[in-house]
Structure 1
Amino acid sequence: PLEWEGGSGVAYTAVFDVYPEVSLPPIESLKIARPEAQVSDTDLDRMLERLRTQRRSWEAVQRAATAGDRVLIDFTGTCEGEAREDLKAEGFAVELGTRQLFKEFEDSLVGTEAGQERSLDLHFPADFHAGELGGKAVNFQVKVNSVEESLLTEFDDEFAAGFGVKEGGMEQLRVEVRANMQRELEEGIRSATKQRVMEALLAGRHLELPESLIKREVNRSMEQRRLELAHSGFDAKGIELEPKAFEEGARRRVSIGLLIGELIKENGIKADAAEVRARIDGIASTYEDPAEVVRWYFSDPSRLSEVQSTVLEDTVVAWILDRAEVVAETTSFDALLNPGQTQGG
């Protein structure tokens, strides 16, 4: 606030956050487990089954719905006596058993038939994505429009052609899918290793963090969550998110950011310009006009900065791995990239 007295000038009070002193652990003392895995024939077969499942068709049936079926429903939800627009949908497709909706809701749809109407008295799970609804009672009025079962195609040349394989049929498709899986695995290993490096850097350290940084990161995380909900078909504007639910993750990311910043400052680590250009060229190569994509990045400092930050972070990770104790951890494709899935995929 400003204070003024005639002839004495202006006095003001400034309030600002003080960044904490950051002390880094001895990098040589860090122990980091780097995952190692290969794409096995079993992994490949499982991926092909997933691709076939994605390409399945649906056929209406006149029977009660079972797990694996798809039901098309209209529903309206009332919570604490209030009919809510974000709990309303028409023609909503639910594949039973995939947890598109929360478990109690989906379980209540098993056994329904086309044309049926049901009144469901349920409870939202405590960790429901819309935090203010967690654990609350809700009534859904549901109308089942249809019940459908899936039809799987054969593994043949026509199936391979659906993925752009014009010659070589299924054998060539297997070659191309394996190559894609290998690229995905390598990226997964890099990502998991980076996460473990950050965890090792942060382990046992507690920083007094500026509240402004935490608040900014919480707001960024909440906005990202709203975008995810909107992409999933929810009315994100009508969903109230609880800031406290995002604080723990925000504190962790801010802490890591401060530690990395100190590491960069102390050791003069920089993003290599050639690597930045190579990263942009790699991104551009997947587009129809790579040269235009390259120009798009270099024409805007903010877009270029995003790539520079990614390269710098990777450079820091490589710098730490060169000095820390790194041990190999044997794992599998699915354990690394699809944790929690059953062996059947």
Structure 2
Amino acid sequence: MQVQLETLNQLERRLSISVPREEITEQVNARLKHVAKTAKIAGFRPGKAPMKIVAQNYGFRIQEEVLGETVEVSFGQAVQEQKLRVAGYPRFEPKDAAEETGDFQFSATFEVYPEVVIGDLAAAQIEKPVLELSDAEVDKTVDILRRQRTRFERVERAAADGDRVIVDFKGSIDGVLFDGGTAENHAFLLGKGQMLPGFEAGVIGMKEDETKSVSVDFPADYHGADVAGKTAVFEITVKNVAAAILPEVDAEFAKSLGIVDGDVEKMRAEVRGNLEREVRFRLKARAKENVMTALIAAAPLDLPKALVQLEIGRLAEGALADLKARGIDPKYVPFSPEMFEAQAQRRVHLGLALAELVKGSGLEAKAEQVKAVIEDLAQNYEDPSEVVAWYFEDRERLAGPESMALEDNVVEFVLAKAQVTEKGVSFEELMGQQG
């Protein structure tokens, strides 16, 4: 076998491989002889047909099989001999395919993995978010839990912000009813932006059984193209006004949160514990994101297009699966692979940089670290021991916790070397809450 290596650009390579025709012929003849022993050909008893007839019936298929295997095996050998790390799938092209004489020649064009060099991490500047949890955050969370358990009680007064109202309405533009502008027994909360501002403003102050017409302006960028930028008149009838009644923070409320004896202080302690775990998780996630961004900046490199395309495919496939799982027909959510390109590039870049850092600095996850990650995850469940046992029942289930432990090692390693600045974040910002 003869091999010639060409460098086409920074990462692209081409191997031109030549295999003696005799080797191909020997393999084809050997397989034909093997097939001839049991070949069933019309006019001949099984295994008794002349080799010429066997070759006529099976020769083409066998030759194609041999050539395919030769390409695969010889390419693998050439890659090993040249000490190449192939990224993605090669593109094979035969040479002189029509000729039956001379050596069998083909080329393989592919990309190789780039050389990854991690720069000076001591020069990296990384922000580490911090938050000291206080009683105020516990109070705010308890209040959120109360609002989640809000009940509504009918009132005989004018509707106000925070009330739930049930209405019938008919909307028309220039006196003509439009699609989506009519509903009966439609319930919504006033002041929560569930309806257009003009609609809500018209309902505020109305009482049960009252009817009036309200002029409502649709925004120019409204999702309904037929009504965007237009003014509609809605005839609204209020059928029910109900005030929000929040539960008191008492024994019954504590029991509703799983505190069997209704002890309010136990409830607050549990809320604090859950908050501390969630805050710790989110702070760690933000710090990790900043570390990974710094790691990418410290390891500039050319990305193999093949790996980026494979990652784009995985991301697109995952997005489609998510849409289907939520009962959404993908054809109604137009997206293209290009939407995932930046994310795919970041993932590939980060994967290459992480692999180099882990290998060069011995940051592989240890068994006790993986177990600690699993135990921490299990604290969010009613019976943590069951969750821990579930993970260890199947080796494949450990992949996620192992990856998390490895990333924790990387974050700790980089933060220990980099210039770290602590930055306070608000509870609302961290938890993604508004006001």
Q: With structure 2 as the length reference, what TM-score do the two structures score?
A: 0.59
- What is the CA distance between 1:138 and its match in structure 2? 4.7
2:195 corresponds to 1:137: no
Percent of aligned pairs sharing the same letter: 34
Q: Residues 48, 292 of structure 1: CA spacing in aligned structure 2 closer, same or farther, 3 A cutoff?
A: closer
Which residue does the alignment assign to 2:431?
337
Which aligned pairs between 1:173-212 and structure 2 lie closer than 5 A? 173-203=267-297, 207-209=301-303, 210=305, 211-212=308-309
Which residue does the alignment assign to 1:226?
323
- What is the CA distance between 1:61 and its match in structure 2? 6.2
Give the secondary structure class of the aligned counterpart of 1:58. strand
Tell me the alpha carbon deviations over residues 183-208 of structure 1, each in whole angstroms, 9 at most, x when there is no partner. 22222221111111112223486543
Q: Which amino acid aligns with 1:137?
A: A
Tell me the alpha carbon deviations over residues 295-317 of structure 1, each in whole angstroms, 9 at most, x when there is no partner. 54334443221221111111111
Q: Give me the whole-angstrom Cα distance separating, in 2, the residues matched to 1:43 and 1:54.
A: 17
Report the structure number with the largest CA radius of gyration: 2
Give the secondary structure class of the aligned counterpart of 1:137. coil
2:100 corresponds to 1:7: yes
2:124 corresponds to 1:23: no
- What is the CA distance between 1:273 and its match in structure 2? 1.3
Q: Give me the whole-angstrom Cα distance separating, in 2, the residues matched to 1:98 and 1:249.
A: 34
Which residue does the alignment assign to 1:246?
340
Q: With structure 1 as the length reference, what TM-score do the two structures score?
A: 0.72
Moved more, 59-68 or 197-206: 59-68
Q: Give me the whole-angstrom Cα distance separating, in 2, the residues matched to 1:307 and 1:95.
A: 42
Larger RCO, structure (CA 8 Å, separation 6 or more): 1
Q: Which amino acid aligns with 2:135?
A: D
Moved more, 295-304 or 110-119: 110-119
Contact 1:29–1:324 (CA under 8 A) maintained in structure 2: yes
Moved more, 199-208 or 245-254: 199-208
Q: Give me the whole-angstrom Cα distance separating, in 2, the residues matched to 1:173 and 1:160.
A: 6
Q: Residues 267, 149 of structure 1: CA spacing in aligned structure 2 closer, same or farther, 3 A cutoff?
A: same
Which residue does the alignment assign to 1:235?
328
Runs of 5+ consecutive residues of structure 1 not aligned to the other structure: 76-82, 127-132
Contact 1:124–1:138 (CA under 8 A) maintained in structure 2: no
- What is the CA distance between 1:172 and its match in structure 2? 2.9
Tell me the alpha carbon deviations over residues 120-174 of structure 1, each in whole angstroms, 9 at most, x when there is no partner. 8856859xxxxxx7xx725599999866542212222222221122446333322
- What is the CA distance between 1:118 and its match in structure 2? 10
2:312 corresponds to 1:215: yes
Runs of 5+ consecutive residues of structure 2 not aligned to the other structure: 1-91, 170-177
Contact 1:35–1:192 (CA under 8 A) maintained in structure 2: yes
Contact 2:138–2:271 (CA under 8 A) maintained in structure 1: yes
Q: Give me the whole-angstrom Cα distance separating, in 2, the residues matched to 1:204 and 1:97.
A: 48
Q: Give me the whole-angstrom Cα distance separating, in 1, the residues matched to 2:93 and 2:214.
A: 63
Which aligned pairs between 1:304-343 and structure 2 lie closer than 5 A? 304-338=398-432, 341-342=434-435
Q: Which amino acid aligns with 2:333?
A: E
Q: Give me the whole-angstrom Cα distance separating, in 2, the residues matched to 1:225 and 1:147.
A: 38
Q: Give me the whole-angstrom Cα distance separating, in 1, the residues matched to 2:331 and 2:190.
A: 26
